[in-house]
Structure 1
């Protein structure tokens, strides 16, 4: 194992839940702080050191959970969780789903539901607790031997007390504050001689009440009716930011040019994600290749992750403080959205993947309309194809084309953050960024939902969405589609057999844009290690190039029998492309793909490092913070 690496931490799918009054670790100094207040500026919060009582302003991205609820037995790749265990977890989730709101704290509701589905109340509570420990379906996967059941719940008297005060005091037309309600719980508990639940528990219970119930029972029935009654062309159950996002693809109405010769190479493709509540763009994916399931997965990951580095890499000044897990992703019925791998990845991170029902206007094509808005702006750029022949008229798109893919991406980013997000939206009456802030922070008439939840570990999130293969490990390494990979990390698993004596297969994930390195999941250490080509003389290449190499050799009536053929064929192909790049658009596009693949590399840990030593490798930016293309294709 490489010196300086820690194997004590594995994959982590927990979430960081930001809520005022809660305690967090500040990654900068390792001290514990209480979150005091959200500051509506650059994802900033006011925190107070619990030891020194000194307050300061910090970024939410500096905060981490004090107590890690991550289950060690789930520190594994998703593919390692068998279908039997996963399907059982999904059945548990469906059983508790009706209770994943304020009803989970109501013993009467839990008991009635337990009787309805034919399980004990204790079992139902255990499932709810397991789900809440991680915040996703993964928490419901059967535990391995030796694990405890976690923290105890409130006792019956405390539950009844909190429910009574909330129903009789908080949900009243006088509209008392949360702080007043906490004091009332403490007062009644003292009168009854009951130990009061913590302020944190009471606050959490109050915040779990839906906005509809809160408005209705606090004397605002008309507002609740107007806001939550479904209307034609209005997406139902969109009550707060990231409750639903929509994703769709489009070819961009623009001819772009290559970086070297500045000659036209065709239209790029855009995958776009939008928050229905605020109309904020949550993420995008720009590529020279046709949309695929990987386009969707990469767009989802970019939606969840912070965007500061993305703006910095493209030198775009502005703010894009949109991040966090969506509750639901709404898509059309295309094959790229119906991938089982994509569905499982979403389930693992507690994201519902929902397909648009036919003939239901209330589920409206919000994303199609915003794509239409974007393309109208693109029609003002040199090289636009417009949206139809009539609009194009005598305009020669290719001769007018001037923008490279990188230049267009910078334009797109600037348009998103500095124009679209700040312009008043006709359906909202305010700008998307104003609507987003209202949903997050609230005002005197609205209860904000607070900052969205962040992934505990970005690396786990990204690996969960990458494609994978299973292969056996031999003395010379592992072979995937004729390419051999080797590293000492494979040695302890050479010729391993399963309990039936058959050769054991291991999981490998790969970046389709650069298959010069794959990621090996070690089931014993429960972590990933990069495995390079066994023949170090082979250059990095994409799946797209490798498939062309194999076809190139086939056309020459040669069989692929050794790595030198790959090296020679790839070199010859690239030289041919370079020579013909000035002559043909297809060749220029091919050359540009190759440059984009090789261009943008960032340093990421080869394993999750400890705080004292980090050893790194370069891999392509398929982790989405700055890349502009990620070629994907299945190897036969």
Structure 2
């Protein structure tokens, strides 16, 4: 993360649609034409002159920012969050289409008993901010655009729908109306009108209604895609699949060039164009962190990433997808990841169990990449039979940095450029047509571009709640303190009169720093160790140290004991780095974490990446065609 002491949250992206306003240096321009992925033509609002502008040098206009952009996700109350989600579900149908007219807007407004102007207002708010937080109700007075019943009633209706209507009992709509009325009577709440309850039920997606009400076969027959197709993947970033796999190659450490083990690849693929839109490479097994890093890499522009990895190619991909399609792994199901996706209007879909056709696209791409990896020195191949007498450890030659350079070259200069059988063109060509259009089909336009790439990570980092004591806060028996915490020492919650809990976010790869969200200043503050002399470490190092102490019978170790154990372990690892693969892997992890290399901050790496002659990328010349991917 950043070394800044504090900063405000800023989620407002740069809207790159024709007719929108952007800022270049201190001047405002109206976008008149999109030239390519690098340039636009803007008309100055001060003197009317046209100017060619580089997209990477643009920034959003501050007036377009919403006050809600400065709120941490966890500070939004459940009722407000439900209202925002309901509003998003109403405008979502319109957002999913590149073009829509007043007729479509009026139709949706009438279906939900909402004024057409209100619906346009919601759409404008979401398109400006790029996130669902802009749809959270304002606090002062009754705002136009709120549901026409109080939040308490809305919450009650949703509760009854979820727990009573959407069940295998298949109760009728009228029975649901009566149940809402009954519970309102018990809680001394004025019941909503029957038509209001019916409209909420009609707003439920048919697929969800069939599935939850015990009609799974009917839902499967109606909504299951045929082989080779994927539902609703009609344009770029409509549906992105993400999956993990261990790479079939042994990598070596940076210092001794001795074997470490196999890295994990987390890959994101756009279904419509087959473009790789993001990835993350790590020696750690899949986790919420690797998933968050992959999504962050997908969303941000990649010019700096290409410079970092010495790749002379284009990768003109950025923006949030409408849907992320994943398997049922625990990392995909974390509440923090779900809410982070919902914030940016991402529909998170899970692959139905025992339905391999739903994950075929990204899995086939990963399989094809693994075949190319089998040509590299140190490959493990895909089976013992294929490996035969090949000694993977003995032949291992590439470091993680060198392998990553090879991988990025493979993606950008080979895979994206070769014709794809099912597309009839290359993925990059399909992407360009999808964005800018062609003679036969309109494009969707360039996705909003997030200017503050680094701060985006905070929405996806794990959340921890703590009270603030006079000594600061304690997490995993480690103390943290900063003057930013002083105003909140022993603060009470104004509602419960108990000690108030605050939001902290932590990057598991570097737990020497926390990020504290000040609820009044609407800023994040960097909170370091209370003892500044302590060494930095990752969460996995801390867990290993605690495990070692537990094995020694110490189940209540304090901070000093944990850190002493960590120091001792590092000394052992340093001494054994040329002896065992496990020790070298742990040391390499320390090296990787020390670089603080992130998709959102690639050019601020604290340790420069060097490419060895042994990792020569002439291997790219032997890449086979990717036409077998469907």
How does the TM-score come out when normalised to structure 1? 0.76
Q: Which residue of 2 aligns with 1:595?
A: 591
Q: What per-residue deviation string (whole Å, max 9, x for no partner) do you get for residues 256-291 of structure 1? A: 111122111110000000111111111100010111
1:405 corresponds to 2:400: yes
* Residue 591 to residue 369, structure 1, CA distance change in 2 (3 Å): same
Local SS of the residue matching 1:424: coil
Aligned pairs for 1:180-579 (under 5 A) are 232-357=227-352, 363=358, 365-455=360-450, 457-499=452-494, 500-558=496-554, 562-579=558-575
Deviation at 1:501, TM superposition (A): 2.1
Alignment gaps of 5+ in structure 2: 146-223, 607-630
Local SS of the residue matching 1:484: strand
Deviation at 1:68, TM superposition (A): 3.4
Deviation at 1:436, TM superposition (A): 0.9
- 2: CA distance, partners of 1:236 / 1:471: 43
* Residue 46 to residue 583, structure 1, CA distance change in 2 (3 Å): same
Local SS of the residue matching 1:583: coil
Indicate conservation of the 8 Å contact 1:20/1:37, yes or no. Answer: yes
Q: Which residue of 2 aligns with 1:17?
A: 15
Local SS of the residue matching 2:331: helix
Runs (4+) off by over 6 Å? 4-7, 119-123, 359-362, 626-629
Q: Which residue of 1 aligns with 2:207?
A: none
Deviates more, 1:484-493 or 1:315-324: 315-324
Indicate conservation of the 8 Å contact 1:269/1:291, yes or no. Answer: yes
Aligned pairs for 1:62-211 (under 5 A) are 62-66=57-61, 68-98=63-93, 100=95, 102=100, 106=104, 108-110=106-108, 112-115=110-113, 131-132=126-127, 134-145=129-140
Deviates more, 1:104-113 or 1:548-557: 104-113
Q: What per-residue deviation string (whole Å, max 9, x for no partner) do you get for residues 516-567 of structure 1? A: 1111111110110101100111000111111122222233344655543333
Q: Which residue of 1 aligns with 2:602?
A: 625
Local SS of the residue matching 1:47: strand
Local SS of the residue matching 1:444: coil
- 2: CA distance, partners of 1:510 / 1:5: 15
- 2: CA distance, partners of 1:431 / 1:131: 32
- 1: CA distance, partners of 2:46 / 2:234: 38
- 1: CA distance, partners of 2:330 / 2:54: 39
Q: What per-residue deviation string (whole Å, max 9, x for no partner) do you get for residues 1-26 of structure 1? A: xxx9897xx32333322122332211
Local SS of the residue matching 1:68: helix
* Residue 258 to residue 107, structure 1, CA distance change in 2 (3 Å): closer
Indicate conservation of the 8 Å contact 1:498/1:504, yes or no. Answer: yes
Indicate conservation of the 8 Å contact 1:275/1:282, yes or no. Answer: yes
Indicate conservation of the 8 Å contact 1:13/1:349, yes or no. Answer: no
Local SS of the residue matching 1:592: helix
Alignment gaps of 5+ in structure 1: 151-228, 602-619, 630-636
- 1: CA distance, partners of 2:369 / 2:420: 13
- 1: CA distance, partners of 2:601 / 2:23: 27
How does the TM-score come out when normalised to structure 2? 0.77
Q: What per-residue deviation string (whole Å, max 9, x for no partner) do you get for residues 153-190 of structure 1? A: xxxxxxxxxxxxxxxxxxxxxxxxxxxxxxxxxxxxxx
* Residue 488 to residue 103, structure 1, CA distance change in 2 (3 Å): same
- 2: CA distance, partners of 1:450 / 1:493: 46
1:61 corresponds to 2:56: yes
- 1: CA distance, partners of 2:47 / 2:520: 42
Indicate conservation of the 8 Å contact 1:236/1:363, yes or no. Answer: no
* Residue 362 to residue 286, structure 1, CA distance change in 2 (3 Å): closer
Deviation at 1:298, TM superposition (A): 1.2
1:581 corresponds to 2:581: no
Indicate conservation of the 8 Å contact 2:88/2:345, yes or no. Answer: no
Indicate conservation of the 8 Å contact 1:473/1:490, yes or no. Answer: yes
Q: Which residue of 2 aligns with 1:192?
A: none
Local SS of the residue matching 1:446: coil
Indicate conservation of the 8 Å contact 2:137/2:143, yes or no. Answer: no
- Over aligned residues, Cα RMSD in angstroms? 2.8
Deviation at 1:391, TM superposition (A): 1.8
Deviation at 1:511, TM superposition (A): 1.0
- 1: CA distance, partners of 2:287 / 2:502: 26
Q: What per-residue deviation string (whole Å, max 9, x for no partner) do you get for residues 311-356 of structure 1? A: 1112222111111111111112222212221111000011111122
* Residue 333 to residue 299, structure 1, CA distance change in 2 (3 Å): same
- 2: CA distance, partners of 1:5 / 1:479: 19
Deviates more, 1:523-532 or 1:60-69: 60-69
Deviation at 1:64, TM superposition (A): 2.8
* Residue 92 to residue 33, structure 1, CA distance change in 2 (3 Å): closer
Deviation at 1:464, TM superposition (A): 0.2
Local SS of the residue matching 2:281: strand
Local SS of the residue matching 1:470: strand
Deviation at 1:79, TM superposition (A): 0.9
- 2: CA distance, partners of 1:463 / 1:292: 16
Q: Which residue of 2 aligns with 1:208?
A: none
* Residue 135 to residue 104, structure 1, CA distance change in 2 (3 Å): farther
- 1: CA distance, partners of 2:250 / 2:133: 44
Q: Which residue of 2 aligns with 1:180?
A: none
